[in-house]
């Protein structure tokens, strides 16, 4: 009922005052045929500055008086700013202006009283939605609403961060993460262990959650927020984060985005890559491919290989170390070797 499905619908509501002087506000103003007559932002650092050729205002009410030709406002605020978005929507409707809101800023279906207020005042209220109706048309099923709900945060960890990735699913990432945490604790370090899987229940894991149940847009925030939470609770020297799947696994591309999102959220100082040769039901491309992909996605360094020889009994970790030139160990038997590689790298 409220969802915008074409740019022509937006053009019919020209011209606009745009709320939010960030990427969303810029993107909206650059849409074909959109006429913008002013910008408003709550951020004092943006107020009075030039944005898209306009001086950023601090008050919507004042700006509506200054540019009476504006027929509509569009709210392009980030997730978490619903209170401010609601304030601006009420001010606009009260002044007889149409309202368009990004679903990130303000869900119309979750604020039906606002829609009734707009109807009483004879103005339109529309939402730039995630268009989940199209996914429902294609698959016959879709989430009822956007699953992107976490605020985007910025945080610089005090602890060293280690990402435990791998060349495929079921290659030993969770075991590697746990055993590195145990080895670090035995060295006298305060270690933190974060599992990103529902099966991450074993000690010394501090807590677990299934990252795959989150929106890809929310996963980096979830990882970074988890690091911040763990640092506030435990003050660790080093944090080990379990990755999921792989960036390069063949035959099953679906979890690759999950792997990338966890890696990006971790923004690690060092990486250990797990590998299971002759995997019975996965198709890993290989160690060099995964290392190249990891170091391309994040400015980090792969410093060691955790080898799972369950399906390759005729080889040893030393065989793989010689082949790939990185410290290699069966982490169930010798996690200290990989921990040494991590600590040596961190000293640099």
What does the pLDDT read at residue 104?
Answer: 86
Residue 191 pLDDT greater than 90, yes or no: yes
Residue 93 pLDDT greater than 70, yes or no: yes
145 secondary structure, DSSP code = S
What does the pLDDT read at residue 1?
Answer: 63
Give the pLDDT mean for 143-149. Answer: 85
- Give the model confidence (pLDDT) of 293-335 as tens digits: 999 999 999 999 999 999 999 999 999 999 999 999 998 999 9
What does the pLDDT read at residue 108?
Answer: 87
Superfamily of domain 160-347: P-loop containing nucleotide triphosphate hydrolases (3.40.50.300)
Give the side-chain half-sphere CA count within 13 A for 144: 2
Write down the mean pLDDT value for the chain: 95
CB 55 within 8 A of CB 102: no
- Give the model confidence (pLDDT) of 230-269 as tens digits: 999 999 999 999 999 999 999 877 789 999 999 999 999 9
Dump the DSSP string for 153-189.
-----SSEEEEEEESSTTSSHHHHHHHHHHHHHHTT-
In terms of pTM, does the model score above 0.95?
no
The torsion defined by the Cα of 48, 50, 53 and 54, in degrees rounded to 10, comes to -10
The percent of residues above 70 in pLDDT, for the chain, comes to: 100
Give the pLDDT mean for 186-198. Answer: 97
Give the pLDDT mean for 273-301. Answer: 96
Residue 14 pLDDT greater than 80, yes or no: yes
Residue 147 pLDDT greater than 90, yes or no: no
Domain with CATH 3.40.50.300 in the chain: 160-347
CATH, range 7-139: 3.40.50.720
Vertex 236: Cα angle to 200 and 179 (nearest 5):
40
- Give the model confidence (pLDDT) of 94-124 as tens digits: 999 999 999 888 888 888 999 999 999 999 9
| Interacting residues of 343 by C-beta distance below 8 A, sequence separation 6+ | none
- Give the model confidence (pLDDT) of 211-233 as tens digits: 999 999 999 999 999 999 999 99
**Alpha carbons 278 and 307: distance in angstroms, whole number:** 12
Give the pLDDT mean for 199-206. Answer: 94
Domain with CATH 3.40.50.720 in the chain: 7-139
**Alpha carbons 342 and 31: distance in angstroms, whole number:** 48
Residue 149 pLDDT greater than 90, yes or no: no
What does the pLDDT read at residue 107?
Answer: 87
Across the beta sheet with 238-242, the strand order is 207-208, 191-195, 238-242, 160-166, 270-275, 302-307, 328-329
pLDDT classification of 5: cutoffs 50, 70, 90: confident
138: exposed, middle or buried (C-beta count within 10 Å: 0-12, 13-18, 19+)? exposed
């Amino acid at each position: 009922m409220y969802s915008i499905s074409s740019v022509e619908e937006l053009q019919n509501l020209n011209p606009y005052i745009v709320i939010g002087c960030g990427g969303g506000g810029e993107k909206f103003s650059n849409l074909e045929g959109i006429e913008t007559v002013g910008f408003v932002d709550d951020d004092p650092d943006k107020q009075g500055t030039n944005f898209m050729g306009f001086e950023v205002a601090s008050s919507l009410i004042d700006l509506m008086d200054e540019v009476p030709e504006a027929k509509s406002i569009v709210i392009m605020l980030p997730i978490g700013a619903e209170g401010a978005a609601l304030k601006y929507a009420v001010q606009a409707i009260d002044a007889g202006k149409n309202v368009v809101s990004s679903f990130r800023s303000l869900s119309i279906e979750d604020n039906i009283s606002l829609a009734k207020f707009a109807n009483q005042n004879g103005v339109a209220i529309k939402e730039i939605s995630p268009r989940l109706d199209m996914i429902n048309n294609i698959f016959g099923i879709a989430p009822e609403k956007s699953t992107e709900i976490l605020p985007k945060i910025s945080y610089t960890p005090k602890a060293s961060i280690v990402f435990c990735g791998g060349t495929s699913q079921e290659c030993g990432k969770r075991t590697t993460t746990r055993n590195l945490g145990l080895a670090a604790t035995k060295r006298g370090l305060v270690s933190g262990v974060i599992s990103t899987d529902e099966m991450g229940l074993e000690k010394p894991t501090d807590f677990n959650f299934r990252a795959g149940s989150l929106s890809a847009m929310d996963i980096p925030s979830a990882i970074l927020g988890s690091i911040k939470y763990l640092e506030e609770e435990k003050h660790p020297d080093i944090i080990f984060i379990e990755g999921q799947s792989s960036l390069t696994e063949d035959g099953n591309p679906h979890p690759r985005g999950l792997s990338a999102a966890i890696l990006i959220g971790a923004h690690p100082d060092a990486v250990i890559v797990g590998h299971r040769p002759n995997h019975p039901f996965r198709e890993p491309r290989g160690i060099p491919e995964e290392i190249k992909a990891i170091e391309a996605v994040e400015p980090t360094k792969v410093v060691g290989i955790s080898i799972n020889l369950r399906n390759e009994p005729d080889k040893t970790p030393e065989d793989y170390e010689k082949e790939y030139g990185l410290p290699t160990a069966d982490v169930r038997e010798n996690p200290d070797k990989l921990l040494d590689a991590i600590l040596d790298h961190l000293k640099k």
